[in-house]
């Protein structure tokens, strides 16, 4: 688009305003595409499980921003009790601090994937080099701890720029967002959150929850921990099975 506008300005300078408006609208569309986590205008973006997984009644729970020394073990205990599986999008520098938690996640049959190294809210302002460094540094840490190379990446708050997709392609990784988010980092009422979560119980959905940065109830319990047992019961009652992303996509 920059090239087209440049040529346009040379060939038809009298229409400068039109060319600049074209450039501005192009930037506007790309910015909007980066701000909307489920948008696919900036490249492939997984928001649901594949058709075959949906037909089998599978649903994917994903936990972001961990590992957290308090909440992650609580989540793992609940998942084990309900024989449920989940995918954890972990932050690289936290994985470095709590390697035993990453190993426990994998040992219990769950999956660990990449959620950047620093989880900086300015992630989407990075150029290709900055994006690549954030992802690659975490890949090295997680690969060493899990014994496999993560294949999925989730950007911070789902916000990204057009340079992310080429970086992921180069690394052979896929962008995953979600079909439903729980807002468990913002709201403190578990009843409200559970009501919201129960509406997301359907085959093929990818649910976003948090073990790290989770909001707390008035009793000091992480919202995801407070809601998880009832949410898992709703999933079982609906005849659905929780799966890791690898179980559905590979």
Instruction: Find the binding residues for Zn ion in span 141-200 (CB under 5 A).
Output: none
Contacting residue, 5, 64, 158, 177, with Zn ion by CB under 5 A = 64
Per CB under 5 A, the segment of 4-12, 23-31, 58-66, 78-86 that binds Zn ion is 58-66
Count of residues engaged in binding Zn ion, rule: CB under 5 A: 2
Give min distance, CB of 236 to Zn ion, in A.
27
d(CA 176, CA 60): 12
The most distant pair of C-alpha atoms in the chain lies apart, rounded to whole Å, by 70
Give min distance, CB of 152 to Zn ion, in A.
14
Per CB under 5 A, the segment of 42-50, 61-69, 168-176, 219-227 that binds Zn ion is 61-69
Contacting residue, 34, 65, 110, 131, with Zn ion by CB under 5 A = 65
Q: Which of 80, 58, 82 is nearest to 72 (CA)?
A: 80
Give min distance, CB of 178 to Zn ion, in A.
11
d(CA 176, CA 62): 10
Give min distance, CB of 115 to Zn ion, in A.
6
**30, burial (CB in 10 Å: exposed 0-12, middle 13-18, buried 19+):** middle
Give min distance, CB of 53 to Zn ion, in A.
24
User: 239 with 57: CB under 8 angstroms?
Assistant: yes
Give min distance, CB of 185 to Zn ion, in A.
8
Q: What's the sign of the alpha-carbon dihedral 185, 186, 192, 196?
A: negative
Looking at the Cβ atoms of 19 and 89, the one nearer to Zn ion is 89
Residue 135, both tokens:
């992802």
Looking at the Cβ atoms of 64 and 113, the one nearer to Zn ion is 64
Binding track, positions 10-49, relative to Zn ion; x by CB under 5 A: ----------------------------------------
d(CA 162, CA 46): 16
Per CB under 5 A, the segment of 29-37, 60-68, 171-179, 201-209 that binds Zn ion is 60-68
Q: Residue 134 interacts with Zn ion (CB under 5 A)?
A: no
Could you tell me where the beta strands, DSSP code E, fall in 67-163? 86-90, 111-114, 152-153
Q: What angle do CA 10, 13, 16 make, to 5 degrees?
A: 115
Residue 154, both tokens:
């989730």
Give the footprint of Zn ion on this chain (CB under 5 A): 64-65
């Amino acid at each position: 688009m920059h090239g087209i506008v440049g040529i346009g300005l040379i060939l038809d300078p009298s229409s400068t305003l039109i060319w600049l408006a074209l450039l501005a609208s192009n930037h506007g569309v790309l910015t909007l595409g980066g701000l909307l986590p489920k948008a696919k205008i900036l490249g492939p973006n997984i928001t649901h499980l594949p058709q075959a997984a949906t037909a089998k009644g599978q649903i994917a729970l994903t936990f972001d921003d961990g590992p957290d020394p308090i909440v992650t073990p609580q989540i793992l205990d609940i998942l084990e009790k309900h024989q449920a599986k989940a995918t954890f999008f972990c932050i690289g520098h936290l994985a470095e601090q709590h390697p035993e938690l990453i190993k426990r996640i994998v040992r219990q049959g769950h999956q660990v994937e990449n959620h950047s190294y620093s989880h900086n809210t300015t992630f989407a302002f990075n150029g290709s080099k900055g994006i690549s460094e954030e992802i690659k540094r975490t890949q090295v840490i997680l690969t060493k701890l899990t014994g496999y190379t993560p294949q999925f990446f989730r950007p911070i708050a789902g916000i990204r720029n057009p340079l992310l997709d080429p970086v992921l392609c180069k690394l052979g990784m896929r962008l995953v967002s979600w079909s439903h988010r729980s807002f468990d980092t913002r709201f403190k009422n578990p009843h409200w959150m559970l009501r919201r979560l129960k509406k997301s119980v359907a085959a093929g959905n990818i649910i976003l929850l948090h073990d790290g940065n989770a909001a707390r109830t008035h009793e000091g319990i992480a919202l995801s921990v407070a809601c998880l047992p009832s949410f898992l019961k709703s999933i079982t009652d609906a005849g659905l099975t929780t799966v890791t992303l690898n179980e559905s996509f590979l």
